[in-house]
Amino acid sequence: MKKRPFIIDCDTGTDDAIAIVAALGCEEMEIVGITSVNGNVPESYTSRNNLNLIEYLGYHIPVCHGAILPLLGSKATEASTAIHGKTGLGSTELPEAEHSDFDPRIAAQFIYEEAVKRNGELELLVTGPITNIAVCLCEHPDLPNYIRHLYFMGGSTVGGNVNTTAEFNIWVDPEALHVVLQSGIPMTMVGLNVSNQTEMRPSEETLLRSFGTRETNLVAELLVYMMNRSVGASKVFRANMHDPLALAAAVFPECMKYEEYFGDTECAGTYTRGHTAIDVFRRSGKEPNVRVAVEVDVDLFREWLCDRIRISGENGEAVRK
């Protein structure tokens, strides 16, 4: 099978890390590199998490620094101790990378150079604020000529998780998604309207632990953290697989249904900044510019995800020998 080249651009975080582990179990993918962005936690943490994770699992995949601030330069995200823990990986402390260092190119430069090298075959999986892609477009307006497809976790057609309208990734940098949506890059959006249905439960944690590999144990540990965190007295966050679902859109699309819509982001609203305005009633008169996931077969997705994590463990054991 000819592997499809991907760059994973992420704000590693708990569910980003699970998506990376699962991607390492997807035989369809060649992971060309991992680029880091400010999001769940500051970029200094997300980039370190990416480098430590790749070395811990035994791979030699380029890891790049990326945007420290959103496009408009507002403050970086505070370390989100509540949702992803102080470092972004919950209570998991990976060994500090000793033999790897960051690729000298920053994300926007890496993405463009690798896209041109692959002459239109490169695909992007974006699981954090989409700042790096927007920066790359600003520096290289011809980027769309070299991107086969961009899959992103972000936005929603039914309401937010930061407030009633905005989903976190887009709320951090709505201008960035506005830039990317106007670019002409073929895109698939995986929003909260589907990802909020993808909770992993103790049964999946038990199944993954039964495989006993570094990968499956790591994911099980992350799931335990995600299942048990809470914010305030009542608000409990479930172990929703937001980012792994965006991976599924790329390599296991049959677990969801999609519609083509026109979409843009609200960048000015006092109460709605970060809202993804998806024209689900098709009344804008504007041409569709994004394919939106609208339904998910959760059981099929969960079974696929656990299987990819299992295979990732088998792959990792072979790599680490």
Cβ atoms within 10 Å of 299's Cβ, excluding its own: 9
| CA–CA dist 261, 289 (Å, integer) | 6
Please report whether residue 9 would count as binding ligand RIB according to CB under 6 A.
Answer: no
What is the residue type of 4?
R
Please report whether residue 153 would count as binding ligand RIB according to CB under 6 A.
Answer: yes
For residue 288, what are its two tokens? Answer: 């569709």
Figure out which of the listed residues 13, 129, 160, 263 binds Ca ion, where binding follows CB under 5 A: 13
Beta bridge partners of 6: 31, 123
The interface region with Ca ion, picked from 126-134, 192-200, 245-253, 255-263 by CB under 5 A, is: 126-134
Residue nearest to ligand RIB (CB): 168
H or E element: which one contains 251? helix 242-251
- Residue 303 buriedness (CB in 10 A; 0-12 / 13-18 / 19+): middle
Cβ atoms within 10 Å of 280's Cβ, excluding its own: 15
Please report whether residue 204 would count as binding ligand RIB according to CB under 6 A.
Answer: no
- The site string for ligand RIB over 234-273 (x = CB under 6 A, - otherwise) reads --------xx------------------------------
CB of 59 to ligand RIB, least distance (A): 21
> Active-site residue 65, yes or no?
no
| CA–CA dist 3, 5 (Å, integer) | 6
Please report whether residue 293 would count as binding ligand RIB according to CB under 6 A.
Answer: no
Please report whether residue 42 would count as binding ligand RIB according to CB under 6 A.
Answer: no
Cβ atoms within 10 Å of 92's Cβ, excluding its own: 18
Figure out which of the listed residues 62, 128, 155, 274 binds ligand RIB, where binding follows CB under 6 A: 128
What is the residue type of 27?
E
**Which residues, at least 6 apart from 20, have a Cβ–Cβ distance to it below 8 Å?**
8, 10, 12, 34, 50, 53, 54
Residue among 207 and 246 whose Cβ is closer to Ca ion: 246
The interface region with ligand RIB, picked from 48-56, 100-108, 165-173, 249-257 by CB under 6 A, is: 165-173
Please report whether residue 11 would count as binding ligand RIB according to CB under 6 A.
Answer: yes
Residues in touch with ligand RIB (CB under 6 A): 11, 13, 15-16, 39-40, 127-128, 153, 161, 167-169, 242-243
Residues in touch with Ca ion (CB under 5 A): 11, 13, 16, 127-128, 243
For the annotated catalytic residues, the residue numbers are: 242
